[in-house]
Amino acid sequence: MLFLDVRDRSGIVQVVFNKETQPEAHAKAEQARSEFVVAVEGKIALRGKPNPELPTGEVEIVAARLHILNNSKTPPFPIEDEINAAEETRLRFRYLDLRRPKPHRNLALRHKIILEIRKTMDEMGFIEVETPMLTRSTPEGARDYLVPSRVHHGSLRVAAIAANLQADPDDRGMDRYFQIVKCFRDEDLRADRQPEFTQLDSRCRFPAGRYLQRD
């Protein structure tokens, strides 16, 4: 018997390869290494000894066929939550770091938050708009990023540091609108500031006090 832990976006499941009943699949499983991309065909069965530490610990896949779709080099650190890799190494191999369970959960949470924001703003009558990221500098305190332009020779365009929604809503012919926008600040790092971040900007015309203060 040979056991492999197979992972996808939903989690990890144990796959069992029986040499006596499926020798071809068992032989291929012996070739598999960490982070190989595989496809498994088989049946789901209850495990003889459940693993309470896994959400899928009560079941396993009894493999009938195994397809090795792509090989992989040995990763520089294990793809799991608790790792001792240096931050520089994790950033260098960011695509591997994002495969770990915690970053996966963070990405899923961000996705749900953005969906809920859009749903709530739509129910309140707000229209989502999009404004340019490259524009002329505005008289604000934060420092801009300067972007060279090939088309406009000798001139620079400035990456917007915030959403370009400063005009009165009536100027656009809409009383309520919002955008979820990337912002940039060419400033020193602080605990609560980084060069690039995302924020929600919204504008509302003639809101009543009760509207702003309601739960």
Rounded Cα distance, 94 and 98, in Å: 6
DSSP-H helix ranges across 74-165: 87-92, 94-97, 101-123
Overall average pLDDT of the 192-212 stretch: 78
pTM: 0.76
- Collapsed DSSP state (helix, strand, coil) of residue 116: helix
Q: For the segment 107-120, what is each residue's pLDDT rounded down to a tens digit? A: 999 999 999 999 99
Task: HSE, CB side, 13 Å, CA atoms: give it for residue 13.
Answer: 21
Q: Mean pLDDT for the chain?
A: 85
Candidate ranges 10-24, 130-144, 160-174; pick with highest mean pLDDT: 10-24
- Collapsed DSSP state (helix, strand, coil) of residue 45: strand
Q: Which amino acid is at 4?
A: L
